[in-house]
Amino acid sequence: MSAPVNLQELVGQLDRLEAEAADAIAAAASAEALEELRVGLLGKKGRLSGVLGAMGKLPAPERPLVGQRANRLKEQVQGLMAERLQAVKGAAMAKRIAQETLDVTAPCSFVPPGHRHPLIATVEEIVDLFAGLGYRVSEGPEIETDYYNFTALNIPEHHPARDMQDTFYLPGDRLLRTHTSPVQIRHLENNPPPVRIVAPGRVYRRDAVDATHSPVFHQVEVLAIDEGLDFSHLRGTVTTFLQQFFGDLPVRFRASYFPFTEPSAEVDVQWRGRWLEVMGCGMVDPAVLQGLGLDPERWSGFAAGLGVERFCMVRHGIDDIRRLFTSDLRFLEQF
Ligand code: DAH
């Protein structure tokens, strides 16, 4: 038989528990300490549960008295804990504020501000100008197939135009693209006209390095296909673009030849007293449209391609293309 239990004893235990709890709560110094107290007092295996466990041994009519006393104790303890938690948090914050100092006179750690490379800034400026004319950006891979780089652009296998664009060949009919023109084909394969796009990107040629040549350089391709486009649209677009980029300089179109345009032209601007060739362009050759399954009786358009290095060098008066690729900060920091 376990020890006999009586009402006075249980109520006495609850009174003592309440007094002890009040002292312990008042002494708790942190939120963690309060949580530990809560578990010890009110948790499943806590002291209040212990007292209530013994309640079952009382005669039935006395049990509610202990139950009510226990509930009051619980509410009392919870109230004290909530109050104490507020106080403890407030004190912690006050302490932190008192301890933390901010020395507004301390010297900052200097991180030199970076900026975009002049070549990238030039690409962005060109793309921005075309975006203002309603053009979207489209991109293609630098590793191309012979088909997209040449054949689909009306440059069949033994065409002499291939000689001027010798490149780096990879196994399996792949090569490093020699121009951004293949993006014209890729875009039209996936997007029915009308289209207006600019395609910026890196291109490669088997060229020896000198002041004006680099085996790696950058181009921006332009393509517009719609119903009823003719050479006047090409001329208007290219002239508007060049005037926005270079200012209001004289522009001239010279007849030229590209396999994928007919007629074709090269464009010069008069810069510091001499004519400077800045881009190639033309009306997209009907053979190219036909190869894409587009009816040249219905669709027409123009294309253009420009070398970004040339635009960048003219704009900034840079005399040697190699300066754009050697990452010399003394040079680059001027821009
Ligand atoms: N792809 C030519 C090149 O790299 C440049 C060019 C000329 C692009 C005329 C065009 C164009 O779209 O119409 O030499």
Q: How far is the CA of 46 from the centre of ligand 1 (A)?
A: 84
Q: How far is the CA of 160 from the centre of ligand 1 (A)?
A: 15
Tens digit of pLDDT for each residue in 70-114?
Answer: 899 899 999 999 999 999 999 999 999 989 888 889 888 888 888
The pLDDT value recorded for residue 249 is 86
Residue 315 sits at the vertex; the CA angle it makes with 314 and 319, to the nearest 5 degrees, is 40
Tens digit of pLDDT for each residue in 193-210?
Answer: 999 999 999 999 999 999
Q: Residue whose CA is closest, atom 6 of ligand 1?
A: 305
Tokens representing 261?
Answer: 């345009």
**Other C-beta atoms within 10 Å of 93: how many?**
10
Q: What percent of the chain has pLDDT over 90?
A: 68
The pLDDT value recorded for residue 111 is 83
Tens digit of pLDDT for each residue in 31-48?
Answer: 999 999 999 998 888 888
293 conformational bin, left if phi > 0, alpha if psi -120 to 50, beta if neither:
left
**Whole-prediction pTM value?**
0.69
The mean pLDDT value of the chain amounts to 93
In this prediction, residues 39-61 reach a mean pLDDT of: 87
Please state the atom number of ligand 1 nearest to the C-alpha of residue 306. Answer: 5
DSSP letter string, 70-91: HHHHHHHHHHHHHHHHHHHHHH
CA-derived radius of gyration, the chain:
41
- 74 by Cβ neighbours in 10 Å (0-12 / 13-18 / 19+) ranks as middle
Residue 2 has pLDDT above 80, yes or no: no
* pLDDT band per the 50, 70, 90 thresholds, residue 55: confident
Residue with tokens 């975006």: 131
- Most confident range (mean pLDDT) of 22-36, 67-81, 300-314 is 300-314
Q: How far is the CA of 19 from the centre of ligand 1 (A)?
A: 92
Tens digit of pLDDT for each residue in 111-142?
Answer: 888 889 999 999 999 999 999 999 999 999 99
**Other C-beta atoms within 10 Å of 213: how many?**
13
Compute the distance between CA of residue 307 and CA of residue 278 in angstroms, rounded to an integer. 7
In this prediction, residues 325-330 reach a mean pLDDT of: 92
Compute the distance between CA of residue 268 and CA of residue 249 in angstroms, rounded to an integer. 10
Residue 261 has pLDDT above 80, yes or no: yes
The gap from C-alpha 91 to its chain's centroid, in whole angstroms, comes to: 44
* pLDDT band per the 50, 70, 90 thresholds, residue 3: low
| Strand, helix or coil for residue 259 | coil
Q: Which H/E stretch holds residue 146? A: helix 146-149
Q: At what angle do helices 63-99 and 7-27 cross, to 10 degrees?
A: 10
Q: Residue whose CA is closest, atom 4 of ligand 1?
A: 179
The pLDDT value recorded for residue 4 is 65
